[in-house]
Amino acid sequence: MSMQADPCAKPSLMHPDEAIIKLLEQVRPLDESEMVQLPHALGRVLAEDLASSIDLPPFDNSAMDGYAFRFEDLTQGNRFTLIGQSFAGHPFEGEAGANTCVRIMTGAPVPPGYDTVQMQEKVEVDGDNIVIEAPKALGANVRRRGEEVKMGGKVLCAGTQIGAAEMGVLATIGASQVRVTRQVKVAFFSTGDELRPVGSELAPGQIYDSNRYSIQGLLSRANVEWIDLGVIEDDPEAIRAAFRNASANADMVITSGGVSVGDADFTKQILDEEGEITFWKLAIKPGKPFAFGRIGDAVFCGLPGNPVSSMVTFYKLVWPLLNKMQGLPQVKPLLLRAKLKGNLRKFPGRVEYQRGVLSQNAQGETEVSVTGGQGSGMLTSMSLANCFIILAQEQGDTPDGSLVTVEPFNSVLAL
């Protein structure tokens, strides 16, 4: 008997990994760049490769506080005559001579004619008579001009995000300003008649709008420029106007709420009328009703209203998009295997991102436990976590002691 397709089978939801591929196909890196002053460069993405206009280090200098001398003079014995000093910022200006030495400090220029430094702990000093213990080799304790990078050598590549180390590297080569890609502009708003701004009283049935604040936090971490359009009521015309305003002013529009199937869930409907929906609903928990599309020239990401769902879908789906638009390379998440502490509940069907705490036990094993209740409205499950426990689509309940896959939070989600 031949196998027949089940006519009652529900269409299966798209796997989030497939969704990421589809999303990334829809955006291109911004091709606009601008110069920024170095103090404002943190978090920005380099638009071009950067070469050093100087040798690094720019001159031979001492790695130790001690004495500079000529290594070959050691063939005449260990006694040297002190003829001067070289301090950082105040080089020795005299002439190097046979069997002479110069007092030298860390970072100070090694005077021309000398080639080796011995640290002061290995030197005996009697007035100007200095006895130097022979170091292992010529050039000991000298940091040679250009040994790190030669003038004209590449120090940073286009597509590098400027972090603390890069700020320092840029300063080391004297770059007072730097060419970076334009920041992606993201306009966002929350939808929902139940939402009240912080600072107001709650009437029965109302809650505070928290998603706009977590989204703002995520956008700040992603180093994009954001436009907060506030809370929009559950009214199709208000949502339409917000969409038009957002898409006219931003590269990306993010909304929270109204993407499910309720009678007041207008986000998807208005997007359908004003733009286009590339896909809607994924096999992800939390975050199933995530919607993606385009409105005008802007990309659209509709995050589900449940607070954890909006954070998880931002992290897994929006953040890779923002990275690509900013010109950053896609980095595969670092996945670890950890031993589960406690039993874990799961229905097969969707890939789940449970919130966990990753730690090491006394035996050095990596362990993980869930942060209590995992409801998609329980935002404290996120704030207590330092990782996601990723459970495959068809996985069910998982017992204590099982090895599970864990994704530690990166800088976007971590403090």
Ligand X SMILES: Nc1nc2c(c(=O)[nH]1)N[C@H]1C(S)=C(S)[C@@H](COP(=O)(O)OP(=O)(O)OC[C@H]3O[C@@H](n4cnc5c(N)ncnc54)[C@H](O)[C@@H]3O)O[C@H]1N2
C-beta closer to ligand X: residue 86 or 376: 376
List phi, psi (to 5°) of 387. -160, 165
C-beta closer to ligand MOO: residue 102 or 311: 311
C-beta closer to ligand X: residue 111 or 289: 289
Longest dimension (CA), the chain: 105
Closest approach, Cβ 282 to ligand MOO, in A, equals 9
- Report whether 59 contacts 107 (CB < 8 A): no
List phi, psi (to 5°) of 190. -100, 150
Among ligand X, ligand MOO, none, the one that 293 touches (CB under a kind-dependent 5 to 8 A) is none
Task: Name the residues that contact ligand X, by CB under 6 A.
Answer: 190, 192, 194-195, 207, 209-212, 256-262, 265, 286, 288-289, 304-307, 309, 376-377
Closest approach, Cβ 181 to ligand MOO, in A, equals 32
C-beta closer to ligand MOO: residue 161 or 395: 395
Closest approach, Cβ 310 to ligand X, in A, equals 7
C-beta closer to ligand MOO: residue 214 or 306: 306
Closest approach, Cβ 213 to ligand X, in A, equals 8
Spell out the SS3 assignment of 241-260.
HHHHHHHHHCCEEEEECCCC
Closest approach, Cβ 376 to ligand MOO, in A, equals 3
Among ligand X, ligand MOO, none, the one that 210 touches (CB under a kind-dependent 5 to 8 A) is ligand X
Task: Name the residues that contact ligand MOO, by CB under 6 A.
Answer: 285-288, 304, 306, 309, 376
List phi, psi (to 5°) of 23. -60, -45
C-beta closer to ligand X: residue 197 or 342: 197
How buried is 373 (Cβ within 10 angstroms: 0-12 exposed, 13-18 middle, 19+ buried)?
Answer: exposed
How buried is 92 (Cβ within 10 angstroms: 0-12 exposed, 13-18 middle, 19+ buried)?
Answer: buried
- Report whether 366 contacts 384 (CB < 8 A): no
C-beta closer to ligand X: residue 118 or 256: 256
Closest approach, Cβ 311 to ligand MOO, in A, equals 10
Q: List the one residue out of 51, 54, 50 whose CA is nearest residue 158.
A: 50
Distance, in Å, from the CA atom of 191 to the CA atom of 257, rounded to the nearest integer, reads 6
Amino acid identity of 37? Q
Among ligand X, ligand MOO, none, the one that 395 touches (CB under a kind-dependent 5 to 8 A) is none
Q: List the one residue out of 93, 72, 70, 92 whose CA is nearest residue 81.
A: 70
Among ligand X, ligand MOO, none, the one that 258 touches (CB under a kind-dependent 5 to 8 A) is ligand X
Closest approach, Cβ 313 to ligand MOO, in A, equals 8
